[in-house]
Structure 1
Amino acid sequence: MRFRTLKGLAALCGEQDDTIADVMIADQAAESGRPAIDEFAKMAEYWAVMKEAVRRGLTEDTTSRSGLTGRDAQRVMARVEAGDVALGGEAGRAMAYALAVSEVNASMGRIIATPTAGSCGIIPGVFVSAQERYGWDDAKMTRGLFAAGAIGYVIANNSFVSGAEGGCQAEVGSAIGMAAGALTELRGGTPEQSVHAVGLALKNTLGLICDPVGGLVEIPCIVRNGFGAVTALAASDMALAGVRSVIPSDEVIQVMLEVGTSMPEKHRETAKGGLAQTPTGKKIMKDLYGKKK
């Protein structure tokens, strides 16, 4: 890629008078050696999978094999449709859709890792709800995924996106940043505003640990996807309103690396700390595996 930092990405956009999506499509085609039209078609297929995961999560039985999770998206969606949510319609739908995709993942359904399976609901939740609100076509949403991919590329190459390496801030946090920055561009924001949205989002998740109960990507992962979608919407709104990330977004990414590296192993997807080691968490582990640890 021709960029390694968000600052470099924004500068490249300015030099070429391109969007983040434009730059990423061109660079992805150059990297793969395939025509840009083929790369776009592949990303469009991913978008179709995301939309289908939302549908499945809202209409089918998503009870996980452990029996610990399932159908919460449908419960939230019923309340949204009843008009009784404090968040309002769009944010409520984004939350429900994010839960839906994450529950499809937990029930062994087909999803797209964005950037991981543990954070797979955030970008679809934000994007599908935005498409419904604004009436954008699938081609525009596919371009948005390229913008999200560019942001994820920078984060992954300067920090990490794995909970086992950097805690949940690396998975859910990265997904929130990717969704916020891409949504800002989709809504007409400049590359600079999109970059600020990433920094605003990531700052809100610094230090978030990865503490899966029973070692499964279910509790608390699924609800964090729901909350993450709402946070992405808020970060986009702030950036478009002119709120800036006073600490440059690239520096925030470096802080995420520092915090994740310093995080105790028990808080990095080992199920040895956090919610996994509460009395209830231990009981669930025993019930699932027949042992105390």
Structure 2
Amino acid sequence: MRFRTLKELAAISLNEGKTLAEVMIEDQAAETGVPREEIVAQMADYYEKMKEAVRRGLTEQTVSRSGLSGGDAVKVLDLAENGTPSSGDPSSRAMAYALAVSEVNASMGRIIATPTAGSCGIIPGVFVSSQERFGWSDEHMVNGLFAAGAIGYVIANNSFISGAEGGCQAEVGSAIGMAAGALVELRGGSAEQAMHAVGLALKNTLGLICDPVAGLVEIPCIVRNGLGAVNALAAADMGLAGVRSAIPSDEVVSVMLEVGAAMPSGHRETGQGGLAQTPTGRKLTEGLMKGRKPLEPEAEEAAAPVGEGAE
């Protein structure tokens, strides 16, 4: 690739009068030797799979084998369609779609890692909900995926995208930055605005630990995908409004590397710290190890001895 930093990516886009997507497509074709048409066709196939994951998560059974997750996406979508969501319809739909894809992942369905399975819901949640809202073509969305890919390429080569290496900031954080920067371009913003959106997104997820209960990509991963999609919308809006990241985005990426390297191993996908080691987290883990599925909160209350917990 001709770029290694976000600054270089934006400079190429500005100097050559090309979108981030066009720069990425051209560089990928040059580096791999694969014809442009094939590269674009493959990305289009990826986007179809993302849309299918959203659909499946909202219309089919997505309870995971562990019993820890499933069905929350439908609840959030129901609030968006039949209630008054506090965050507004666009945010609620992005959240619901992100949850849907993450629940499909947890139930062993097919997803596209963007950039990882643990953060697979954020980009589809942002992209599919935005496409419906603005009436964009699939071709436009595919270009957006190339823009997101260019941003992810820089992050991956200068920091982390793996929770085992850099915590959840590396997975969910990277996905939020990728989605935010790409959405700015999809909405007609400049490369500079897109880069600021990336920085704004990343610096507000610095230090986010990876603490999966029972080592599964469910608790708290799925909820973080839903909220991550909303964060991406907010960062994109800030970028489009002209809000600048006072710390350059490339420096934020460097800080992600610094923070991830300093993060204790218990907070890097080992399940040995954070939420995984709360009393409830340990209880859920122990139950799964013994082959028991977690009880619903109501069932737990019903199963408790009479008078337990009374003052």
Q: TM-score, normalised by structure 2?
A: 0.93
Shift of 1:205: 0.2
Q: Where do 5+ consecutive residues of structure 1 fail to align?
A: none
Correspondence list, 1:1-293, <5 A: 1-290=1-290
- Give how far 1:30 is off: 1.1
Q: What amino acid maps onto 1:256 in structure 2?
A: M
Asked if the contact 1:56/1:104 (under 8 Å) is kept, the reply is: yes
CA deviation profile, 1:42-75 (whole Å, cap 9, x unmatched): 0000000000000000000000000110010001
Note the alpha carbon deviations across 1:209-242, whole angstroms, 9 max, x for none: 0000000000000000000000000000001101
Whole-Å Cα distance in 2 between the matches of residues 227 and 175 of structure 1?
12
Instruction: Measure how far apart 1:15 and its partner are.
Output: 1.3
Rounded Cα–Cα distance in structure 1 between residues aligned with 2:283 and 2:227:
26
Equivalents in 2 of 1:145, 1:83: separation in Å?
32
The residue aligned with 2:307 is: none
CA contact (8 A) 1:180 1:201 kept: yes
Q: Root-mean-square deviation (CA), in Å? A: 0.8
1:66-123 residue CA offsets vs partner (Å, 9 max, x unmatched) = 0110010001111110132011111110000000000000000000000000000000
Rounded Cα–Cα distance in structure 2 between residues aligned with 1:219 and 1:84: 26
SS at match of 1:37: helix
- C-alpha distance in 2, partners of 1:245/1:290? 49
Deviations 1:101-151 (A, max 9, x none): 000000000000000000000000000010001000000000000000000
- Aligned counterparts of 1:138 and 1:85: Cα–Cα separation in 2: 28
Runs of 4+ with >4 A deviation: none
Distance 1:15 1:242 in 2: 20
Paired residue secondary structure (1:53): helix
Aligned pair count? 291
What amino acid is the match of 1:216? L
Distance of 2:34 and 2:165 partners within structure 1: 32
- Give the distance between the partners of 2:254 and 2:231, measured in 1 at CA: 21
Give me the whole-angstrom Cα distance separating, in 1, the residues matched to 2:290 and 2:31.
48
2:142 aligned partner, one-letter code: T
Instruction: Give a deviation string over 1:137-174, Cα, whole Å, max 9, x none.
Output: 00000000000000000000000100000000000000
Separation (CA, whole Å) in 1 of partners of 2:44 and 2:70: 28
Q: Is the 8 A contact 1:57 1:101 kept in 2?
A: yes
5+ residue gaps, structure 2, are 292-311
Q: CA deviation at 1:14?
A: 1.2
1:248-276: CA deviations, max 9, x gaps? 00000000000000000000000000000
Give, in angstroms, the shift of residue 290 of structure 1. 3.1
- Tell me if structure 2 keeps the 8 A contact 1:76–1:96: yes
The more displaced of 26-35 and 268-277 is 26-35
User: Percent same amino acid among aligned pairs?
Assistant: 74
